[in-house]
Structure 1
Amino acid sequence: MNTLKFTPFLLVMLIMMSCSDDDEVAPLAEVESTTFENLHAPQEGGRGEPISGSFTKFDFETGQITDSDTEWDIAFRGATIAVNGGTETGTIDEPARTSDAGITIVNGTFEDVTEIAEDTGFDQDSQNGFAIPTGSGNGWYNYDFTTNILSPIPGKILLVETTNANYAKVEILSYYEDAPSDIDPFQDESRYYTFRYAYNPNERQVTFN
């Protein structure tokens, strides 16, 4: 008899506990800044010859270079940066765009860019060109023809909406192997990116702190 009397009560308690568990909000994963060193982005041609060669693809979720045809966010070849969103530009050997990722440049320091503003527009690659413009002074870098040195423009931060609809911010620190502070363009190997980035692994969360 006692068992029969208490069964409804136990059922109600179990339902309440189940509902309570469902209502709990999972804690957000921590956003951390990471520096990736010496991402090699070789190219062939140039100096009047057609530029070719595979792009080096990077995935923010894993924090690694990838050979995947689909699971990549941005890709590098020489000083050119592609994003996995939009359409092909017509460039030789460029990767197929398989996602809806986007990218843009904002002005500020890495530390000061703490969130994605509501009015931020993300661009994609297209037949009109890459979302991040190429050429000295047009996008993320300057090229000094007197010294033959390519340098990141201070205060240029890349914002990326990734293939899985999360967000990352990127500051390119160097274009030369081991990021030398005093660059010798005849000795230091170029097309080696060192950059720091913060990736928010929480879906659609726009902050980096």
Structure 2
Amino acid sequence: MKNKLKSTIVLFAVICAFASCTKDEVKPEPVDGKSTIIKDLPGDVGKTVGGGAEFDPQYFSFKTGAKVATTEKLTSGWDLVFVKEYNSFVSVNNGKDGNSLGFGGPGKGGMVVINKAYDEVKEAPADTEFAANGITGAGWDSGNGNGWYFYELKTHIAVPIKNRTYVLRTAEGKYAKLEMFSMYKGNPATVSDLKWPAPYFTFRYYVQEDGSRNLNTKD
């Protein structure tokens, strides 16, 4: 009887330990009640870098929380575009920036890198900061300090950079903040399989609709 009880206790401990490990592999849901969370936004899936085909740009609107047609390219109907390899370069809509796909249109977009956790970014910087240190977009960080992910040369896997937030001006000129989580389907805590479905983007953003610089998402 004692041996049976002992075996039961050991089995229960093993199950609990396994459950804990499994739980640790699941990323907590970053809910704050204000931000919009986009899960598994598909890029130009089905293509690979090795295939030689270019990835078609994927235009996204903060207002609708969805992709928009390429016919909206020279309008203020989109705020982000996912381009380049695996659509992993995230760029803004700026009609005066020759590096923006919105060049020639009415977009007022801008982007500034803030090396703080998303919840800690509570105010957009002055327009002088956008002018002096603004970037058109962010992708692989090869040492420039702007990218949203590191690319592991040994594993060929993209690893998101922690505590890096992007403060944006939307196409309409409002202030917003953005955090990129993953380019892999399901937003997995760990990616070990090179065949993991990609690109599927998970990210969150907050737009201050009153036009102010207030980006506080934590009361």
Which one-letter code corresponds to 1:32 in the other structure? K
Quote how far apart the aligned CAs of 1:63 are: 2.1
Bigger helix fraction? 2
Q: Normalization by structure 1: what TM-score?
A: 0.70
Q: Distance in 2 between matches of 1:133 and 1:173?
A: 12
Q: Distance in 1 between matches of 2:48 and 2:141?
A: 16
CA deviation digits over 1:123-180, x for unaligned, max 9? Answer: 354xxxxx43655343111001112210111111111101111111111111100111
Q: Give the match for residue 149 of structure 1.
A: 157
Quote how far apart the aligned CAs of 1:52 are: 2.1
Residue 46 in structure 1 maps to residue 49 in structure 2:
yes
Q: Normalization by structure 2: what TM-score?
A: 0.67
Q: Distance in 1 between matches of 2:98 and 2:40?
A: 26
Residue 105 in structure 1 maps to residue 107 in structure 2:
no
Bigger strand fraction? 1
Q: Distance in 1 between matches of 2:181 and 2:169?
A: 20
Q: Of 102, 122, 125, which aligns to 1:117?
A: 125
Q: Of 193, 204, 215, which aligns to 1:208?
A: 215
Question: Secondary structure of 1:117's partner?
Answer: coil
Contact 1:148 1:185 (8 Å CA) reproduced: no
Contact 2:140 2:151 (8 Å CA) reproduced: no
Q: Give the match for residue 174 of structure 1.
A: 182
Q: Distance in 2 between matches of 1:199 and 1:159?
A: 10
Q: Distance in 1 between matches of 2:135 and 2:152?
A: 28
Quote how far apart the aligned CAs of 1:60 are: 1.3
| Residues 41 and 140 of structure 1: CA distance in aligned 2, closer, same or farther (over 3 Å) | same
Quote how far apart the aligned CAs of 1:40 are: 1.7
Contact 1:177 1:188 (8 Å CA) reproduced: yes
Cα root mean square deviation, aligned: 2.5
Quote how far apart the aligned CAs of 1:182 are: 2.2
Tell me the number of residue pairs that the alignment of Structure 1 and Structure 2 aligns.
Answer: 168
| Residues 104 and 206 of structure 1: CA distance in aligned 2, closer, same or farther (over 3 Å) | same
Quote how far apart the aligned CAs of 1:100 are: 2.2
Q: Give the match for residue 81 of structure 1.
A: 90
Ranges in structure 2 where 5+ consecutive residues have no aligned partner:
1-32
Share of identical aligned residues, percent? 26
Q: Distance in 2 between matches of 1:135 and 1:181?
A: 20
| Residues 83 and 107 of structure 1: CA distance in aligned 2, closer, same or farther (over 3 Å) | same
Question: Secondary structure of 1:104's partner?
Answer: strand
Q: Distance in 1 between matches of 2:125 and 2:89?
A: 26
Residue 62 in structure 1 maps to residue 64 in structure 2:
yes
CA deviation digits over 1:26-53, x for unaligned, max 9? Answer: xxxxx8112101112227563594x623
Question: Secondary structure of 1:154's partner?
Answer: coil
Q: Of 151, 154, 169, which aligns to 1:161?
A: 169
Question: Secondary structure of 2:199's partner?
Answer: strand
